[in-house]
Structure 1
Amino acid sequence: MVMEMFLWTRPRTMKTFGLTPELAESTKSLAANQGLYNGFLAAGLIWGLLYPDASVGQHIQIFFLACVIIAALYGGVTATRSIIIKQGLPAIIALLLVLFL
C-alpha cells in the first residue's frame, strides 16, 4: 500500500515493479488507487483478527482473503501471470492457516 500510494515514482519502487520513470509517472494515480484497495483489504483482515467474537472474526478474514485471491486470479488473467503467485499464493497460505489453525 505504501509503495503504491506514496513511493510509486521512487527508484526502489520502480525497480521492484520494473517501471521506467515515464511509466511510473503516467500510472501514478492508478497505482495510488490500487494501494488504497490493498489498504482496505489489510484493514479488513486486521478487523477480522481483532473482532471480539472469534467465529465472526474468522468469517471476516475468510471473506477478505477470498477477495485477495479473486483479485490475484483476475490480475493473472488480465495483467501478468506472476501476480497469481506474488499476490495469490500468500493469500491462499493465509486462508489455509485461518481455516485450519
Structure 2
Amino acid sequence: MIKFIYENEGQLIAFIWGHFSNEKSMVNIELLYVEPQFRKLGIATQLKIALEKWAKTMNAKRISSTIHKSNLPMISLNKDLGYQVSHVKMYKDID
C-alpha cells in the first residue's frame, strides 16, 4: 500500500492511496481526494503521476481506478493521462 500526500503550510489538502497486486501486476487507486478550494490547480495530476512512478518501480503493468459517473473532472483527468474505460458497472434497486 502507498499513500502520497500534498500539504500546504503544514495542512493536508490532498492525498492519493493505492495498493499493488503482485498477482495481477497492477496498482489500484483506492482513493484520491483534493480539498475543494485547491481543485483545478494540478494537484490531482501531480499525485496520479507520483503514483504512476511508484507503480513502475513495483513493475506494475497497469493502474486501475474506479470513478463515479458524476465525477466528470476526474474522468476527464484520467482520459488526459491516458486511462481507458474498461468496465461499466450497473445496478438496479428492487423492492
TM-score by length of 1: 0.32
Greater share of helix residues, 1 or 2?
1
TM-score by length of 2: 0.33
